[in-house]
Structure 1
Amino acid sequence: MMLKIMVLSDKLQEQSARAEAIQKRAAAKIESGLADMDRTIDEAMRRHMSAVREDVAREVLAGSRESVAQFTSELEDLKRHMMDFAQFSVDMERKMDKTGKILAKRFILPAALLAVTMSAVIAAAIWLGTHYRNVIENSKIEAALLEQYENSALYLCDSKYLCAKTTKTPTQYRKQGYVFIAPKNQAGK
């Protein structure tokens, strides 16, 4: 039984290690995704700002005589695009946070539950092993006593005395080869 418990414990530990490895891989993927998202955002901002600078420089160099209203409109469009991009970044960050929480619920909590369960199983196995070891020891003692009792020649003499047959019985105590046995509270009287 202890061998089965040890095998079960080993299997549970292996499963726990596998779950932990899965969790680490998922965390690495999340971190990698966040790093990729940061790089993508930085690159998009650089490209966008570069394009804006180029557009502004081109307009200034070409000497366009656009009205201030049109420039303000384009600036507002640029602001709106930047706000949209900022909102996109916030949404992506929220999605990544949500994904992280989902992964935590799917891997970390079950791993903790598995660890608690394994601890309970191991504790129960240890307690049961100790309990049944004591039961077996007591049963062995009782069996030895019963065997000794079976191998002895104890009888009731005159329906009220416990007699034992012995090999060397003094003549004064003999009665058909048996000796009277006094109860503990009457010994020596």
Structure 2
Amino acid sequence: MKNLLLLLNIIPILAFSQAPEIPKIDFKTNAEEVNRYVDLFGLKDAEALVVRLAYSILPHIEPESNYIVYFKNGKVRRYRINESAQPMASTKIKRIRVKKKKYSAYWAFLNLCVSEGKFNIDQSQLATLGEKANSWKNAISGGQTYTFGLYQGENYTEYKSFLPSMFTDEEYPGFEDKRKLIYVMEGFKTLTED
């Protein structure tokens, strides 16, 4: 974690010499229509890259999701969506201001993740726990599910993993993919902490 914080402090210095440009991402899936976040956030740029971070405790309920939006013009926006567990309660969307001086850190981390292949994660490995984990089933029933998504135009990639930090030991199947997911999510989460 200390290395990640050090990296996030150094990256903005290196990034000032580069013009921000949305890097080419190898998406896993194509949809028939532009992602729903373009309408939901009222984005004028349908090709903006949306990064989604969510941590949930209850199945299918993510009380809070954080979004980072990268635009072709170099700008960055953030949004937070709060969803209620109550079926009739409305979803609340909040736009969070990003200071211009922090844009370079956001862009640098995105480019680093793409250049190092951090978004190339095998979803099937994220769900693998192996035989050693069977004894943990009762102990971890209250753990978090990590959800990470990338959305651009009609392309998207989503990853989910239940308690990946518990299974990053080399003895567990899929530990490399779980480490990548944690690295990416914690890196973006660190950027959003003001």
Counting strand residues as a fraction of each chain, which structure ranks higher? 2
Of structures 1 and 2, the larger Rg is shown by: 1
What interval of TM-score do these two structures reach, taking the shorter chain for normalisation?
under 0.3
Give the TM-score taking structure 1 as reference length: 0.18
Give the TM-score taking structure 2 as reference length: 0.18
Counting helix residues as a fraction of each chain, which structure ranks higher? 1
